[in-house]
Chain A
Amino acid sequence: MTSTFTKRPDKRKFDELRPIKAETGIIPNADGSALFAFGETVAIAAVYGPKPLHPAHMQDPERGIIRCNYNMLPFSVTERAKPGPNRRSKEISMVAGNALASVVDLARFPGTVIDVEILILQANASTRCAGINAAAMALAQAGVVMKEMVSSVSIGKMDDKIVTDVIKEEEDWEEGEGATDIAFSMTSRTKQITHLQLDGIIQTQRFMEAVEAARVACEKIHDYQIRALKGEKIDETKK
């Protein structure tokens, strides 16, 4: 049988990321801040803290906590999104917070909170991944002690092809075996999966191919994150 998905709508190779933008220090008020973009998907993140957590009864005397908020701006999408939290944004805030908490050495900050704010300015799929990448950079820039870095990418399966960094047009693929969208976050050194969400339909036997694609992509993303943390302003969209 021939595949219905032979090339990607934006002509990328199956394992190719979109043009990346990465920059740190974009919000002067914040302790750490960053922008990360996969092509048309643009996220910014700001970190405030660690700081004492109020009310005090919420404090954990053993370790700090990460309070993550993911929000899409109303004009980031084609049909205006109602501002404020909803079920989707609350879930993403939680999984993103967990992905980040797994790499921060929270035992060093007992009784404190680290606020991580993620805003999606412009959306074309993979917004949570772009947000986590920006947030991880913002945490590192804030000087929060991290055990290792974390990077995030969406891996898709369109018909029978595994692709990296999914766009909206691909998410909606219906032919052949249909579309699967998998959001991964992976740590830089120990290669642990710290966030995983899957929607779609994929053979158990092919799932590990997606994990391998995520590992390769996260290593590339990690390089961009580190370069931006060293002060480089990366913008591949201008080419």
Chain B
Amino acid sequence: MNLPNINKKRIISLLKDGKRLDGRKPFEYRDIEIETGISINAEGTSRVRIGKTEVIVGVKMSTQEPYTDHEDEGTMVTSMEFSQVAGERYESGPPQMDSIEIARVVDRGIRESRFIDWKKLCIKAGEKVWSIMIDIYCINDDGDVMDASAIGAVVALRLARFPKYDKENEAVLYGEFTDDPLPLTDHVPFTMTFHKIGESLLADPNRDEEDAADSRITLSVSSGKKEKMINAMQKGGIIGITIQEMEEIITQAEKVYDKVFEEVEKKTKNLIKSK
């Protein structure tokens, strides 16, 4: 964006030698911290920090009429906003394209991995189903908000529990909670974004690196029976990705998944246990 050219040149020349300004290797992530307890009024919440990037996520539930082509399945809406708190570049007003894109990519990763058992969110086929609303807020942007948002959404879903429901009056008792977790499967989606800067690729960019990047590929991966499965992808930016680069991204994605997803999974399970 407004990154001085000199900075971009520096980033590019370092990357040619496999180096980065903060000393990381090209595909090395910053420390990831995962917490919960943002709002007692939400069905589930999370706070994810990747380095200095911070997102907070809340899951709220309500009921609605099902869509006519999925009469016995629950629904989900994912929203994302860069709060004006997050940095100088964000202005008030309706969500901009960058946050709409993040919300849609996160949404697709969750949906396509079959992480949610939609049929178990049916209350009465054709009449009433549960709807899940995921709200993601970035409150400090130091790059890679896409990946932080995706982690946060998954953690908040896994920590969420249903609100109480008055069957007789068919109404949600807002503010009262059950101990019942959401109907989730083992296909936990994990989202990684690879950026192309000059001729080089890297993961988990900080803000300067992300501003210097020419294009990017986001992948949402979940584990199948034996193999890793890609559930959602998104190419961003104008500059093209070569076939060789795409091959490299897939190779690196498998490695990042093994290392970073493992770490996130461990931290998430600890959180669920200590709940």
Contact = CB atoms under 8 A, between A and B. Distances in A.
Given A29-B86, A74-B60, A80-B62, A119 B139 contact: yes
B274 interface: no
A122 B83 contact: no
A76 B39 contact: yes
A44 B139 CA distance: 10
Nearest to A77: B41
B4 interface: no
B94 A71 contact: no
Interface in A222-239: none
Contacts of A42: 39
B56 A117 contact: no
Contacts of A27: 54, 85-86, 139-140
Interface in A68-91: 69, 71, 73-80, 83-85
A137 interface: no
B58 A74 contact: yes
Nearest to A122: B39
B87 interface: yes
A40 interface: yes
B141 A29 contact: yes
Contact of B39 (A28, A33, A75): A75
B139 to A, nearest CB: 6
B110 to A, nearest CB: 17
B81 A83 contact: yes
Interface in B51-106: 52, 54, 56, 58-60, 62, 79, 81, 83-88, 92, 94
B85 A75 contact: no
A80 B77 CA distance: 12
B140 A29 contact: yes
Nearest to A45: B85
B85 A117 contact: yes
Contact of B38 (A78, A80, A84, A121): A121
A123 interface: yes
Interface residues of B, number: 32
Contacts of A103: none
B59 A75 contact: yes
Interface string B195-208: 00000000000000
B6 interface: no
A150 interface: no
B142 A73 contact: no
A28 B50 CA distance: 13
Given A29-B140, A48-B88, A78-B175, A123 B41 contact: yes
A150 B41 CA distance: 29
A123 B40 CA distance: 9
A150 B130 CA distance: 45
A196 interface: no
B137 interface: yes
Contact of B84 (A33, A77, A117): A117
A39 to B, nearest CB: 11
A12 B63 CA distance: 37
A169 B137 CA distance: 28
Contact of B56 (A51, A84, A115, A121): A121
Contacts of A129: none
Interface in A37-51: 40, 42, 44-46, 48, 51
A122 B38 contact: yes
A122 B52 CA distance: 22
11 contacts: A27-B54, A28-B52, A29-B88, A48-B87, A69-B84, A75-B45, A76-B39, A78-B175, A79-B62, A80-B135, A121-B38
Given A46-B85, A79-B60, A123-B41, 14 more contacts: A29-B87, A33-B85, A45-B85, A48-B87, A74-B79, A75-B39, A75-B59, A78-B175, A79-B62, A80-B60, A83-B81, A117-B84, A119-B85, A121-B39
Q: Which 7 A-B pairs have the closest CB atoms?
A: A75-B58, A78-B175, A75-B42, A80-B60, A122-B39, A78-B174, A46-B85
